[in-house]
């Protein structure tokens, strides 16, 4: 058992570290905006720069993971990620902040690809589904990062001090686990390998599943409070409950869903996940009161918890595309939907209604259910030892 548990702890530490740093940033966004006198438009542009940095990093990270090994590249990028948030904290002017956020987004996105590739290796080594538990560790890490931000704000700690102290503490806490021995299989890139890996074959369908999940999660992040306040007339405190309920449910599900995948298989779990997520959005879209809408967010959290982990596991097992590039191609669709989907929802809500937007998101959740059989096809060989 120790030889199985130890690699799990190493990957779990990588996911937690990634989540902690993003949680730190998210908790201090208002303070950063105030420090630089940024309005909603200026802040939006900086967030877009950060998102573009992540999207640009995906294909490069995938190729590096295949060439040098996912575990080695994850360690490199983790170090860059720790430094990048320090640069965000000490940026003196807006252009420097934009550059630091671009690097922060690149580091976050690149590590997301490589640590998922590493997680897929450990999952195959352990012989059972554990991917969702890694994503639960990411969510817990993000919560810890946000809690640290709350503490820093309560103590009136400046952003610079917070963004220097937090990565140092995170490195001391998670760094030793990242050094646990593990060897990834590598693949030398050929001259004909594309710079950008796009899904092909069955992986296109996996990418569409990830897109549907990314759209649903992004809508819950950006539009839950707006929906509850403007459509249902909830109070300011009540409006915050939507995403809180969604997040707590998702973490709880990710801690136990691996057992369901092992017992019932990825196809059945994905089918149920898509139906639950669609039911949640449809329930919200037709809700007349806050309790019914909150039940909808519970169903969404239950539904989306397993989908992205399942998509990444299947991508890493693709028989045609190397694991790193396969995960990168799927991640591009998932995070592209998270980035582009919320503005599209706002546009549709502006010309029609937010209820209609939620119905359309539900249709993408049904697409997850419809395409679920593709998640049952796996690469047979073991990728790591």
In the chain, where are the structural domains located?
2-178, 202-376
CA 302 – CA 246 distance, rounded (Å): 8
- Class of 202-376 per CATH? mainly alpha
Q: Are 67 and 117 in contact (CB under 8 A)?
A: no
Task: Annotate 334-380 with DSSP letters as a single string.
Answer: HHHHHHHHHHHHHHHHHHS-HHHHHHHHHHHHHHHHHTGGGGG----
- Whether 2-178 shares its CATH topology with 202-376 is answered yes
User: What does the pLDDT look like over 253-286, one tens digit per residue?
Assistant: 988 888 999 899 999 999 999 999 999 999 999 9
CA 98 – CA 252 distance, rounded (Å): 35
Q: What is the mean pLDDT of residues 57-63?
A: 86
Q: Is the predicted pLDDT of residue 216 greater than 50, yes or no?
A: yes
Torsion on CA atoms 293, 298, 299, 301, rounded to nearest 10: 130
Give residue 304's pLDDT band: very low, low, confident or very high (50, 70, 90).
very high
**What does pLDDT average to over the chain?**
85
CA 363 – CA 369 distance, rounded (Å): 10
- The percentage of the chain sitting over the pLDDT mark of 70, rounded to a whole number, equals 92
> Given the structure tokens 């073991």, which residue do they identify?
382
CA 113 – CA 360 distance, rounded (Å): 28
> Given the structure tokens 């001391």, which residue do they identify?
172
DSSP category for residue 85: H
CA 71 – CA 179 distance, rounded (Å): 9
The torsion region of residue 164 among left (phi > 0), alpha (psi -120 to 50) and beta comes to: alpha
CA 9 – CA 126 distance, rounded (Å): 12
pLDDT at 184: 66
CA 109 – CA 331 distance, rounded (Å): 9
User: What does the pLDDT look like over 61-79, one tens digit per residue?
Assistant: 888 888 888 888 999 999 9
Q: Specify the pTM.
A: 0.79
- Class of 2-178 per CATH? mainly alpha
Bigger pLDDT: 230 or 86? 86
């Amino acid at each position: 058992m120790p030889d199985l548990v130890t690699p799990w702890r190493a990957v779990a530490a990588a996911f937690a570290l990634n989540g902690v740093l993003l949680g730190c940033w998210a908790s201090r966004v208002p303070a950063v905006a105030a420090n630089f006198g940024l309005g909603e438009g200026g802040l939006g542009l900086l967030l877009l720069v950060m998102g573009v940095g992540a999207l640009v990093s995906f294909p490069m990270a995938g190729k590096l993971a295949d060439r040098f090994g996912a575990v080695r590249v994850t360690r490199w990028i983790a170090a860059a990620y720790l430094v990048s948030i320090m640069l965000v904290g000490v940026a003196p002017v807006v252009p420097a902040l934009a550059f630091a956020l671009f690097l922060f987004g690149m580091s976050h996105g690149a590590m997301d690809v490589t640590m998922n590739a590493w997680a897929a290796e450990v999952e195959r080594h352990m012989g059972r589904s554990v991917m969702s538990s890694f994503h639960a560790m990411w969510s817990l890490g993000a919560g810890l990062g946000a809690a640290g931000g709350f503490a820093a704000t309560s103590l009136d700690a400046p952003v610079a001090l917070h963004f220097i102290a937090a990565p140092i503490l995170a490195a001391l806490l998670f760094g030793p686990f990242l050094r646990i021995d593990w060897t990834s299989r590598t693949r030398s890139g050929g001259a004909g390998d594309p710079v950008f890996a796009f899904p092909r074959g069955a992986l296109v369908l996996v990418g569409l599943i990830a897109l549907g999940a990314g759209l649903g999660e992004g809508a819950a992040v950006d539009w839950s409070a707006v929906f509850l306040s403007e459509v249902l007339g909830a109070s300011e405190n009540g409006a915050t409950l939507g995403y809180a309920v969604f997040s707590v449910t998702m973490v709880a599900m990710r801690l136990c869903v691996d057992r369901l995948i092992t017992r019932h298989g990825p196809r059945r779990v994905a089918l149920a996940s898509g139906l639950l997520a669609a039911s949640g959005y449809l329930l919200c879209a037709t809700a007349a009161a806050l309790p019914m809408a909150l039940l909808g967010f519970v169903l969404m959290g239950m539904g989306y918890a397993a989908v992205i982990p399942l998509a990444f596991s299947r991508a890493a097992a693709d028989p045609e595309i190397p694991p790193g590039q396969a995960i990168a191609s799927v991640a591009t669709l998932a995070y592209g939907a998270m980035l582009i989907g919320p503005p599209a929802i706002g546009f549709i809500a502006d010309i029609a209604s937010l209820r209609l937007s939620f119905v359309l998101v539900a249709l993408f959740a049904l697409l997850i259910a419809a395409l679920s059989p593709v998640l049952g096809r796996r690469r047979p060989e073991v990728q790591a030892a």
